[in-house]
Amino acid sequence: MTIETHLDAKELEELEKKYDSALNTRDNGPGLTQVMYWASIAFAMYHLWTAGFGTPVDHVHMGVHLAGLFLFIFVGFPLIKSARNLEWHGNSTLKPGNVPIYDWVLAVLSIAASLWLWVSWRGFDGFGLNITEQALRQGNPSGMDVFFGSILILTVLEIARRTIGFVLPLIILVFIVYALFGPYMPAQILKHPGVNWQQFVNNMYFPSEGIFGVTLWVVSTVVFHFVLFGVVAQRMGLGQFFVDNAMLVAGRYTGGPAKVSVVSSAFFGTISGSSIANTVSTGSLTIPNMKKLGYPGHFAGGVEAAASAGGQITPPIMGAASFLMAEYLEVPYTTIVIAAIVPALMHYIGVISIVHFTAKKLGLTAYSKEELPKFLQVWRDGWYTIIPLIALLLVLFSGYSPNMAAFIGLSLCVVVGFCAFNKPATMIVPAGVLAFILWKASPYSGEGYSPVMAGMLAALTIMGCLHRNERQNFRDLFDSFHVGVQYALAVGAASAAVGIVVGVINTTGVGFRLGFMVTGGAADIAAWLAPMLDWTGIETFSQSSIQQFASLVLIAMACILMGAGLPTTALYIMLVAVATPALSQLGVPPLATHMFVLYYGVISEITPPVCASAYAAAGIAGSNPFRTGLTAFTLGLGKLMVPMVFVYAPTMLIVLPEYFTIASFIQVSGTCALGVFAIATAVSSYFMAPLHGIWRVLMALGGLMLVAPSGSSDLLAVALIAPVLIQQKMGQSKAQAAA
């Protein structure tokens, strides 16, 4: 059996286009395609420059970012996405560049609306208009503000619909109706005075909240850069290096290809917050290899989808929601990174455990020694690709801003992957990077580097020029920038649109109202259940404990159900506004609340019926998409339980000193890992021998008791699992005797 281990960038791009609707754009013909290609390069270069040399004021920078989104989306995405509308039909008067006139009009109007605040911020007097400066218009927008603000609201909803579908715009329309018609709401708790359209536009259009609020700011200043870094780093060779190392780490063990899938997806997740990109990039190799070894197609696809869904929760580069979390909580991004380490590990422990026991049950073997790559060869051929990631982490964990870390990481991607001494013209890039580092170490720069930091970054830059491996040309770099911009379009559109939700929540206080509804519903459930459980005398069954658990379950269900058609970022923003007031009343720390919502939001990536990652994996595996989604959900059960653990025992998050002690951390994390492991045996119905009937139920219950962060539940778990271990040992002995 031969093993394919090479990632071809063009093939990957075609696969990603097939399964990621955000990359599937219409053919604009050769002329306009070239114009848009170079426009995307300029867009990427603008963001790279601002990351390193300073970002313009918020309304200018966000306006430029939003204008770029409007241009690329209205030109690239048809009103109705169909095979015919995506095909090239030639130029015509009504469709120049295969783009209908109405899309050109929408593009021009929306770009003008994006840039109007920049033009009119200091006032505007000309062309028959007399506009006062923005500070004097705040709360009393001019006619032009209302005109452009109305256009912006409508076109933002439209680009969200074109990139990610109907669900998010429909939910936002519900929020808009709620803001405008507050006095007419049927439930008393939801009633509010309401706002007229002029005031609504004022709140949504002017910076600080609404469209030009924190969500668009974070995406345009941080998330875009990390998306770009992930694409460029992968295509520069880091993705292949991860796959090769996953083969070294996991390929020699039982069920080798499936474990390689999990490990490579975990590695790849450190640089990519996109589950679909992760699925396609690693799954294009691991899924066929799993099928060759004997795994069913739905299981092979499910393994890849479940492992890849962990990308949004795998440090150091998580999904867009994690950067928003840092902004909302007003903590350094590194705090979020550290808090996410153990929960992410629990997810991968769960997936790889189920993979292991399923492989044992099916009798699947490992890769042979001859099929595995050689350690020295892998590191000799690929060591240099990890330089940009090291530099990024070095800057990030030294207290500098995330966009500065992304700038250094991207710059070194260019140095390592595209610059060489035998191409003298390319050496201008490392020379420029070294000059930048020296400038940042001088007293003349604002966010200066220490001498040690500057020395380490300069050494990494020089090392990046010295390796002897083949470099790519700059056209490959521009192709990576182009794909990175395409990836960022859907995230940007969703962040701009969901800014309307944030504005409505801030204007009406609906988040607190819904939060009180959640806690009120949980209190009713607790009042009904508590009397029935009083006889136990166990504190866990007290009314307050039941209310807290019921609140968590209701919020988790909302996350999973709403996540069926929403991107994680939009889901996180909407539900954290509900969860924070609901759970803060119950004493849950804000960080644990935000992480809880994020983790359950990510589960939607592998929850049928809408699970984009599983569908992409099913396409590669040639399996039934729904069955693949169910398998992926089953494999991700660890992720389903872990958020409950860090809500009840925040010591797992490490960064909360009032909860963290070494003893509690080891006890909670250790028993949680054992519990996830035990549940994996129940899911796969195999441990040391086949696991059936009551023994499987006992193992599942014991695993749940171990996951629950309590000493008494751990003792109960031991009592439940001990008979199963005896039965399994006897079953193993019988099987060995029979053999």
Question: Considering the chain, what is the average pLDDT of its residues?
Answer: 84
**Confidence grade of residue 538 (pLDDT, cut at 50, 70, 90):** low
Tokens of 10: 């063009």
Q: Which residues contact 636 (CB under 8 A, 6 or more apart)?
A: 306, 309, 347, 350, 351, 603, 606
Q: Is the pLDDT of residue 4 over 60?
A: no
Query: Residue 729 CA to chain centroid, in angstroms?
Result: 42
| Cα dihedral: 236, 237, 242, 243 (round 10) | 130
Distance in angstroms (rounded) separating the CA atoms of residues 718 and 705? 9
Q: What is the mean predicted confidence (pLDDT) over 130-155?
A: 88
> Count of residues for the chain?
739
Q: Quick check: helix, strand or coil at residue 130?
A: strand
How far CA 496 is from CA of 161, 183, 204, 223, in Å, comes to 12, 27, 10, 13
Q: Spell out a b/e string for 505-515, using b for 16 or more CB atoms within 10 Å of the CB, else e.
A: bbbbebbbbbb
How far is Cα 435 from Cα 450, in angstroms, rounded to an integer? 15
HEC letters along 667-694: HHHHHHHHHHHHHHHHHHCECCCECCHH
CA angle 502, 508, 510 (to 5 degrees): 75
Closest CA to 264 of 329, 358, 348, 173: 348
* 533-550 mean pLDDT: 72
Note whether 398 and 380 are within 8 A (CB).
Answer: no
Is residue 114's pLDDT more than 90?
A: yes
Confidence band of 536 (pLDDT split at 50, 70, 90): low
pLDDT band at 10 (very low <50, low <70, confident <90, very high): low
What does R_g of the chain's alpha carbons equal in angstroms?
27
The arithmetic mean of pLDDT across residues 687-693, rounded, is 85
* pLDDT one-digit tens code per residue, 243-286: 888 888 877 777 777 788 788 777 777 776 667 777 777 777 77
Comparing C-alpha atoms, which of 222, 221, 227 is closest to residue 55? 221
- The Cα 149–Cα 143 span in angstroms is 10
- Which of 71-75, 466-470, 575-579 ranks highest by mean pLDDT? 71-75
Q: Angle, nearest 10°, between helix axes 197-205 and 143-164? A: 70
How far apart are the C-alpha atoms of 457 and 438, rounded to whole Å? 10
Q: What local confidence, expressed as pLDDT, does residue 18 receive?
A: 63
Q: Model-level pTM?
A: 0.86
Residue 159 in this model has a pLDDT that exceeds 90? yes
Q: How far apart are CA 686 and CA 691, in angstroms?
A: 5
By CB neighbour count within 10 A (0-12 exposed, 13-18 middle, 19+ buried), where does 399 fall? exposed
* HSE-up (13 A, CA, CB side) for residue 419: 21
Residues 356-406 pLDDT 10s: 888 888 777 777 777 788 888 888 888 888 999 999 989 988 888 888 889
> What's the mean pLDDT in 477-489?
88
The pLDDT tens digits of the residues spanning 611-632 come to 777 777 887 888 888 888 888 8
User: What per-residue confidence (pLDDT) applies to 710?
Assistant: 78
Contact assessment for residue 20 and residue 276, using Cβ atoms and an 8 Å cutoff: yes
Given phi > 0 = left and psi -120 to 50 = alpha, else beta, which region is 139? left
1 pLDDT band, cuts 50/70/90, is very low
Average pLDDT rounded to a whole number, residues 652-669:
91
Report the chain's terminal Cα–Cα distance, integer Å: 27
pLDDT score recorded for residue 6: 53
Q: For 556-612, how does the pLDDT look when each residue is reduced to its tens digit (9 = 90+)?
A: 887 777 766 677 777 788 888 878 888 887 788 999 989 988 888 777 767 766 677
Amino acid in the structure at residue 281: S
pLDDT at 121 over 90: no
3 state DSSP class of 727:
helix
pLDDT digits (tens, 9 = 90+) for 286-318: 788 778 777 788 888 888 888 887 777 888 877
State residue 148 phi and psi, 5-degree precision: -70, -35
Is the pLDDT at 473 greater than 60? The verdict is: yes
Q: How far apart are CA 108 and CA 70, in angstroms?
A: 9
Q: Could you state, in order of their start, the residue ranges of all structural domains in the chain?
A: 12-208, 666-739
d(CA 589, CA 581): 11
**Between 87 and 605, where is the model more confident?**
87
Cα angle at 222 between 218 and 228, to 5 degrees?
135
- Each residue of 217-228: pLDDT tens digit? 988 998 888 888
Which tokens hold the place of 401?
């801003």
Q: What is the dihedral of CA 471, 315, 406, 286, to 10 degrees?
A: 30
Determine how many CB atoms are found less than 10 A away from the CB of residue 108. 13
Give the integer Cα–Cα distance in Å for 348 and 223: 24
H or E stretch including 124?
strand 124-126
Residue 151 near residue 110, CB atoms below 8 Å: yes
